Amino acid sequence: MPELDDYVHGVRSGDRALLARAITLVESSKAEHQLLAQKLLQALLPLTGKAYRLGITGVPGVGKSTMIDQFGTNLTQAGHKVAVLAVDPTSSRSGGSILGDKTRMPRLAQNENAFIRPSPTSGTLGGVTRKTRETMALCEAAGFDIVLVETVGVGQSETAVCEMVDFFLVLMLPGAGDELQGIKKGVIEIADMIAVNKADGGNVERATLAASEYRSALNILTPASANWSPPVLTVSAKENTNLDTLWQKIEEHRETLTQSGEYHTRRQNQAVKWMYDMLEDRLHAALRGNAEVAARLGELETEVRNGEMTPALAVDEIATMMKLS
């Protein structure tokens, strides 16, 4: 196993093999790996935070993979280095995950200026792996100036990713009628831009109509930012249509929020949110690892389930055992 200095030098020099091993290190649940991982992240801290972080979501079938493959290729051709963190749904039954992202993004997978990393969620809240932030930091330290985070498009993963990126793109399908009724209001509220994908062939008219419907929906909602009104575009990842305009809007968003000071404030708030999320994880781990709590927890669950004890009293008892009260 590499030493700390090996990891630091490897990541800083852009060694893809060591970057991959470093990510595996931060994803490990072993105590000794976690200790080394935190030392590594601290050593690389001055090199992080310089990349632009984009979150991309959309329902299954909207074409996220095709979109990222083409969009990422465009960015590398423009001189950028792109890292793709594809959050991977882990089965809550078998524990297995579908780590097939490199086959879904064939051009980026072979691109020397791109790096694709599937991240199994391991059942964490919202479908977003707890280690996505650390993985993002490692990619930034390795010299990738754009990080794309793809969500599974289900559950609360959109909100979780939105809280760790600079720009949140929501992909939609043509045919606004049923789609508009089915979309969660919360996703529209946190979107920095909506892009109606698959606007090609016979779908162009339907995509244009859908975009109009989404614009109307956005007009009655309060924007997430006081300095930015989310635009709605029609794009075709398949034909590489309007993706240049999409990138122009993303750059316009960055410039607007930077000038207003919101960009810096958002990054600061994200760092604090990261701290509290890690604190909650640590407290939860301590709770599960407490022998006294573990011995009593099953009984408490049964008593609460049978209506013999209120949830509040059960929590009070656990807090007393943990010396939290």
Name the residue among 54, 24, 36 with its Cα closest to residue 131. Answer: 24
Outline which parts of the chain fall under CATH 3.40.50.300. Answer: 48-259
Q: What is the pLDDT of residues 188-212, one digit of tens each?
A: 778 899 999 999 999 999 999 989 9
| The pLDDT value given to residue 153 | 64
How high is the mean pLDDT of the chain? Answer: 86
The single-letter DSSP state of residue 156 is: T
| The pLDDT value given to residue 92 | 38
Q: How far apart are CA 32 and CA 29, in angstroms?
A: 9
Residues of the chain below pLDDT 50 = 90-100, 125-127, 181-182
Outline which parts of the chain fall under CATH 1.20.5.170. Answer: 1-46
What is the CATH number that goes with domain 48-259? 3.40.50.300
| The pLDDT value given to residue 98 | 42
Q: What is the pLDDT of residues 66-88, one digit of tens each?
A: 999 999 999 999 999 999 998 76
How many of the other CB atoms lie within 10 Å of CB of 88? 20
- Which residue is associated with the tokens 């109009």? 212
CB distance 197 to 239 below 8 Å: no
In CATH, which of 1.20.5.170, 3.20.20.140, 2.60.40.10, 1.20.1440.130 is domain 1-46? 1.20.5.170
Quote the crossing angle between the two packed helices 4-12 and 16-27, to the nearest 10°.
Answer: 130
Output the DSSP codes for 205-264. HHHHHHHHHHHHHHHTS--SBTTB---EEE-BTTTTBSHHHHHHHHHHHHHHHHHHTHHH
